[in-house]
Amino acid sequence: MNSVQKHGDKRMLLIEDSRMFATALKYGLETVHGIRVTHCASLEALRQEMTAAPGSFSLAVLDLNLPDAPNCEALDFILANNLPAVVFTAAFNDRTRDQILGRGALDCVIKNQPESINLLIGAVDRALTNGKTTVLLADSDTPSRVELAGILRRQRISVCEVTSAADALQVLDSGEAIDLVVTDLDLSDMSGAALLAEVRRRQGDEALPVIALSDSGDRRIGARFLEAGGTDFIQKPFLEAEFNGRIAYAAGIQKRLQTLQRQAASDYLTDIYNRRHFFLTGPRLVEQCLRRGETTAIAILDIDHFKRLNDTYGHEIGDVVLKHVAKRLTALVDDEHLLARLGGEEFGILFNGCDVKRAFAFCEKLRIELAKSRIVADDEELSITVSIGLATIEAPESFENYLHAADQFLYMAKHAGRNRVISELALLDALAS
């Protein structure tokens, strides 16, 4: 995904009294990031814009000194309105930078240095990316954890704080959306290196990036962590700018990787997950459920008489039906469970910590809702029904075994007349009656 697509839905304020800088910055930011830039040349113009369009802007880039605001009044106004700010100024030294960052600005870029406009464009990209980033922070030392969390939050990064490796692994197993793990190497229950190894074991090729920190004087510790597959190592004490830069770099790479992974995991026709993603992600989700002591279930859903529909109306209408079913399933299944198109007219659902009784009721709801829905194709209204096979997952087995069991129940549903859900529970109920 390029930068225009990445930030094309954003609006930002540019508060700058120099026409030359304003023109160059507006052009660069809109061309590179696709952001809609609103220019204000004074504090008064800024106030008017904020009043006219409250809550419309994601970021402000501003000069510290304006004709009607020579003492950082514009920065104070921006921060008072809870709008993230990047400062672009010629009045700069280390003390000024510390003061600006201390007030709550995200970054500070010097005007009169080479490549200053490119540096600012990069700072804007980091600021907007960080606003969508969540870091899992593991540190058993409370003062250290509080300090690190404060630094990350000043960069608009969401932080999930834990005090042990066990808590960190529990968060990761819960399915919470985490982009990056930052851990101290000396945790109370496990070393940071052991945490890294466990994350890589559980998540495989799609393991999250892990950055470690340590105040140990032994430089070999960092080298060993990197050799074990760690993303980065930061020696304490560190400069805040260095820490921010390394976190932003790792987060940026992870966001680009996630974009590529989403593209590789999507079905070309329906835009839901594909068979490859289902088989890659499914075993890990099953392992997480079983590790939590939960049973779960897996279902295969098949559109009834789909071949006859294709033969009667043509493949174009068949594609319309597949897209319709995928859209309805996406709305009904939501993100709680794993939904994918397995191929042809078959869809798979791996339930997240849902016993077979609840999963059966859920599948019945899907069947009824799909039967009620209507599909308009070539000015003709079509209806469809589905058959569903549902299998219980209670103990570790190969993922193919779970899927094969669901496929057997689907076969039974087809031969029992279609438009029904068959599972072990349904068979037991039938025997009991």
Say which amino acid occupies 302: D
* CATH class belonging to 275-432: alpha beta
Q: Are 170 and 188 in contact (CB under 8 A)?
A: no
Per the CB < 8 A criterion, the answer to whether 92 and 63 are in contact is no
Where exactly are the structural domains of the chain?
11-128, 133-264, 275-432
Would 11-128 and 275-432 be classified into the same CATH topology?
Answer: no
- Residue by residue, pLDDT tens for the chain (433 residues) are 444 446 778 899 999 998 888 898 888 888 888 889 999 999 999 999 999 988 889 899 998 888 898 888 999 999 899 888 998 887 666 677 777 777 778 888 888 776 888 888 888 887 887 667 899 999 999 999 999 999 998 887 889 999 999 999 999 988 788 999 999 999 999 999 999 999 999 888 789 999 999 999 888 999 999 999 999 999 999 988 889 889 988 988 888 888 788 888 999 999 999 999 999 999 989 998 898 888 899 999 999 999 999 998 899 999 999 999 999 999 999 888 999 999 999 999 999 888 889 999 999 999 999 999 998 877 788 999 999 999 999 999 999 999 999 999 999 999 999 999 999 876 766 666 5
The answer to whether 381 touches 317, Cβ cutoff 8 Å, is: no
The fold of 133-264 is Rossmann fold (3.40.50)
Q: How far apart are CA 209 and CA 389, in angstroms?
A: 37
* CATH 3.30.110.30 matches 11-128: no
Residue 83 in contact with residue 57, Cβ under 8 Å?
A: yes
Instruction: Write down the pTM of the prediction.
Output: 0.66
Contact at 8 Å (CB) between 209 and 250?
yes
The neighbour count for residue 208, using CB atoms within 10 Å, is 15
